[in-house]
A and B are shown apart, each in its own frame.
Chain A
Amino acid sequence: MIVFSVLLLLFLSNYLVFIAAQSTVSTFQGYNEMKHLNQAGNYIANLDPDSDMNMGKIDKNDTQNVYDYLKNNNIRYALFTDGFIVSLPNAYDMEVSFAYLNEEYYKLNKQFEISQGKDLYFDYCFDNNDIEIPVLIGKGLSKTYPLGSTIKVEDPMLQKQITLKVQGILKPNVYHSNLYSLSSKQYYNFSVVIPVNEAFLNNSSVGLQLQGLFDIILLQTSKNKIEGLHKVIQDKLGLKFNFYTQEENFEYFNKYYFSSLKIITVITVILTLILTCITIWSSLASIRLMIKDFTINLFVGLSYLKLRKIFYDYYGVLFFINLIVLFIITAYSRYGTWIRKDASFSTFGLFGVIGMDWLALLAVLFFDIIIGIIIVEIMLWRIKKVPISLGVLQ
Chain B
Amino acid sequence: MTKIIDLNIQEKVYKSRKSRLSILNDFKLEVNSGEKIAIVGKSGVGKTTLLNILGLLDRNYNGYYTLFGSKTNDLNLSQLAEWRNQKIGFVLQESALINSLTIEENIKLPLLYAKAGENNKLDDFESIINIIEIESILKKKPLECSGGEKSRVVFARAIIMKPQLILCDEPTASLDGDNKERIITLLFKMNQEFNTTIITVTHDLNSKKVIDCINNLNYYYAYGKYSTANIKYSPLT
Interface residues of A (CB under 8 A from B): 292-293, 296-306, 387-391, 393-394
**Known contacts A389-B57, A389-B58, A393-B93; A298/B169 CB under 8 A:** no
**22 A-B pairs with C-beta separation under 8 A:** A292-B98, A296-B97, A297-B113, A299-B92, A300-B90, A300-B113, A301-B81, A301-B84, A301-B85, A301-B112, A301-B113, A303-B77, A306-B78, A388-B57, A390-B48, A390-B51, A390-B52, A390-B57, A390-B92, A391-B48, A393-B95, A394-B48
Contact of A303 among B82, B86, B93 (CB under 8 A): B82
Contact with A along B207-231 (1 / 0, CB 8 A): 0000000000000000000000000
* A387: B residues at CB distance < 8 A: 57-58
CA–CA, A293 to B98, complex, Å?
6
B186 to chain A, nearest CB (A): 18
Contacts of B58 in A (CB 8 A): 387, 389
Number of A-B contacts (CB under 8 A): 75
Task: Name the CB-closest residue of B to A293.
Answer: B98
* In the assembled complex, B36 has its CB within 8 A of some CB on chain A: no
- A303 pairs with B95, CB closer than 8 A: no
Asked if A297 and B109 sit within 8 Å, CB to CB, the answer is yes
Q: Please, which residue of chain A has its CB at the minimum distance from the CB of B100?
A: A293
Compute how far the CA of A300 lies from the CA of B109 in the bound complex, rounded to whole angstroms.
Answer: 7
B122 within 8 A of A: no
Q: Smallest CB-CB separation from B52: which chain A residue?
A: A389
Which chain B residues (147-186) contact chain A, with CB distance < 8 Å? 157, 169
Known: A296-B96, A300-B110, A389-B52. A305 touches B77 (CB 8 A): yes
Query: Closest Cβ of chain B: how far from A3's Cβ, in Å?
Result: 12
Give chain B residues whose Cβ lies under 8 Å from the Cβ of A388: 57
Check A306 against B81 for contact (C-beta < 8 Å).
yes
- CB of B114 closer than 8 Å to a CB of A: yes
Is the C-beta of B80 less than 8 angstroms from some C-beta in chain A? yes
Q: Is the CB of A302 within 8 A of B81?
A: yes
The 8 closest A-B pairs by CB, nearest first: A301-B85, A303-B81, A301-B113, A300-B110, A303-B78, A393-B96, A293-B98, A390-B48
Q: Which of B51-99 contact A (CB under 8 A)?
A: 51-52, 55, 57-58, 77-78, 80-82, 84-86, 90, 92-93, 95-98
Contacts of A306 in B (CB 8 A): 78, 81, 113
A303 adjacent to B80 (CB under 8 Å):
yes
Nearest CB on A from B118, distance (A): 10
On whether the beta carbons of A390 and B169 are closer than 8 Å, the reply is: yes
A393, B90: Cα distance in complex, Å? 12
The reply to whether A296 and B109 form a contact with Cβ atoms under 8 Å apart is: yes
By a CB distance below 8 angstroms, the chain B residues around A304 are 77, 81
Chain B's closest residue to A303 (CB) is B81
* C-alpha spacing A253/B93, complex, angstroms: 70
Besides A297-B109, A393-B96, 7 new A-B residue pairs in contact (Cβ under 8 A), listed by A number: A292-B96, A292-B98, A299-B57, A300-B84, A300-B109, A301-B84, A394-B169
Closest to A298 in B: B81
- Determine whether the beta carbon of A302 is less than 8 Å from that of B113: yes
Q: How far is the CA of A277 from the CA of B90 in the complex (A)?
A: 38
CA distance A306 to B78 in the complex (A): 8
Q: Which residues of A contact B98 (CB under 8 A)?
A: 292-293, 296-297
Q: Which residues of B contact A394 (CB under 8 A)?
A: 48, 93, 169
- The winner among B51, B109, B157 for most chain A CB atoms within 10 A is B109
Cα A278 to Cα B93 in complex, Å, equals 35
B57 A300 Cβ-Cβ under 8 A? no
Bound together, the chains give a CA A297 to CA B92 distance in angstroms of: 13
Flag if B86 contacts A301 (CB, 8 Å).
yes
Q: Which residues of B contact A296 (CB under 8 A)?
A: 96-98, 109
Q: Which of A292, A299, A305 contacts B90 (CB 8 A)?
A: A299
Q: How far is the CB of A16 from chain B (nearest CB, A)?
A: 33
User: Please, how many angstroms separate the alpha-carbon atoms of A387 and B85 in the complex?
Assistant: 18
Task: Tell me the bound Cα distance from A389 to B109 in angstroms.
Answer: 18
Closest-CB distance, A328 to chain B (whole angstroms) = 31
- Measured CA separation A390–B170 after assembly (Å): 11
Our pick among B84, B92, B112, B113 for the contact of A393 (Cβ within 8 Å) is B92
Q: How far is the CB of B127 from chain A (nearest CB, A)?
A: 19
Query: Nearest Cβ in chain A — how far from B9, in angstroms?
Result: 16
User: Which A residues are CB-close (under 8 A) to B57?
Assistant: 299, 387-390
In the bound complex, CA of A300 to CA of B157 (Å): 9
CA distance A330 to B57 in the complex (A): 50
In the assembled complex, which residues on chain A have CB atoms less than 8 Å from the CB atom of B113?
297, 300-303, 306
Cα distance A301–B115 in the bound complex, in angstroms: 10
Q: Which residues does chain A contribute within 8 Å of B93, judged by CB atoms?
A: 393-394
How many Å from the CB of B164 to the closest CB on chain A? Answer: 14
Q: Which residues of B contact A292 (CB under 8 A)?
A: 96, 98
Nearest residue, chain B, Cβ from A300: B110
